[in-house]
Amino acid sequence: MSDYFIAFISAVIISFVMTPPARKLAIKVGALDVPKDPRKIHDKPMPYFGGLAIYISIMACMFVYMPHTSTNLHIMVGATIIVLTGVVDDMYDMPAKIKMLMQIIAAVIAIRGGVHIHFITNPLSDTGMSYLLSWLSYPITLVWLVGITNTINLIDGLDGLASGVASIAATTLLFTASKMGYDFIVLQCAIIAGASLGFLPFNFNPAKIFMGDTGAMLLGYMLAVTSVLGMVKSVTVVALAVPIFALGLPIFDTAFAIIRRFINKKPIMQADKEHLHHRLMKHGLNQRQTVLIMYFISMMLGIVSVAIADTEPLIGIIVATMVVVAMFYFAKVGGVFKKKEQ
C-alpha cells in the first residue's frame, strides 16, 4: 500500500477521532462563536477549536511519515505559532495587528527553514531561464505566506466551506506535484487533505463545531508553505500559475473583496457580507447548495491548475489569462463589485 495513502488515511482518522474531544474542550473553556454579528449565518453559539483536531492530525502525521529535515521542523514550529495565535484569537478576539505580527513571525520561521521563492520564471523564454530574485525572494515569500494564511480565513463563512476548499486545494497540489515527481510535496498534501476531510463530517451543514481562526489560519499556512516548496522545485511557468489556481477560490474571493472595498471607499480589512458565498445565498440558495457550488468552482480551478502544469508556457499563459478574465467578468455581472448607495 502506498505510503501516501497510508499517511492520508492516518490523517483522516486522527482528525476525525480528535474532533469530538476538541468540541468538548471548547465548550468547557467557553470558546464559542456567539452570533452577535449580523454577518453570522448560524443562530446559536457554536464551539470553536476544530482547528486543534486538524493541527494534531497534521503534526502527528508529519512527525511519523515525513523526514525530520530542518525545513519540516521549521514548518512545524511555524504551524504551532499559528495555532497558538488562533486559539487565543478564538477565545479572546486578538487585535488584528497582533495577529498579523504572529503570522509574520510564523512565516519568517518557515523562510529561515528554507521555504522561499528563489526565482521568477520568464514564461516567454524558449530556454526557460529564470531570473534570480536574490534578497527580493524573502519579502515576496513573506507576502505570499501571510496572504494565503489569511485567504482561507476569509472564506470560512459557511458550514464546511473552508475545510472542503482546503481539501480540494491540497488534492490539486498533490496531483500537480505527483506529475512533476515531487514526492515529499505529494506526502505533505496528502496529510493536509486527510486532516481537512477528517474534520469535515463534523463541520458540514448542520455543523457541530467550527474550525475557528485556529484551523483556518493553520490550513492557509500549510497550503502556503507547501505551494512555495513546489515553486522552489519548478523552473517553468507553472511555478506561479499552479498554486494560484490550486488556491484559486480563496485568492479570487480575497481579490474581489479588496476591489469591492476600494470602490466603496471602505477599509480593506473591514468585514462585509458580500463575499462570493454571501452573494450566492442572496440569490436564494441555502447553505448546502452554496457550499457545493463553491466546491465545484474550486474543483474547476483545480482542474485548470493540473491542466496547465503539463502544457507549453505560452498556452498556459493564454489559458490562465482567459480564466482570470472570466472570473472577474462573472464577479462583475454577479454584483460582487457593485457600489453601494450611501
- d(Cα 305, Cα 145) in Å, to the nearest integer? 19
At residue 320, the pLDDT reads 81
Q: How far apart are the first and last CA of the chain?
A: 61
Q: What is the pLDDT of residue 38?
A: 58
Which residues are bridge partners to 121 per DSSP? Answer: 130
User: What is the three-class DSSP state of 281?
Assistant: helix
Question: Within a 10 A sphere around the Cβ of 298, how many other Cβ atoms?
Answer: 27
Least Cα distance to 222 among 115, 149, 155, 141 occurs for 149
- Flag whether pLDDT at 223 surpasses 90: yes
pTM for the model stands at: 0.88
Classify residue 283 as exposed, middle or buried by CB count within 10 Å of its CB (0-12, 13-18, 19+).
exposed
Rounded CA-CA distance 46/206 in Å is: 11
pLDDT tens, position by position, 144-195: 999 999 888 888 878 888 899 999 999 998 988 887 778 889 999 999 999 9
pLDDT at 8: 96
Using the structure block, give the residue that is written with the C-alpha cell 482570470: 324
Which of 118 and 52 is assigned the larger pLDDT?
52
- Give pLDDT, residue 342: 43
Contact criterion met (CB below 8 Å) for 16 and 197: no
Return the pLDDT at 129.
47
Task: Tell me how far apart the alpha carbons of residues 190 and 43 are, in angstroms, rounded to a whole number.
Answer: 34
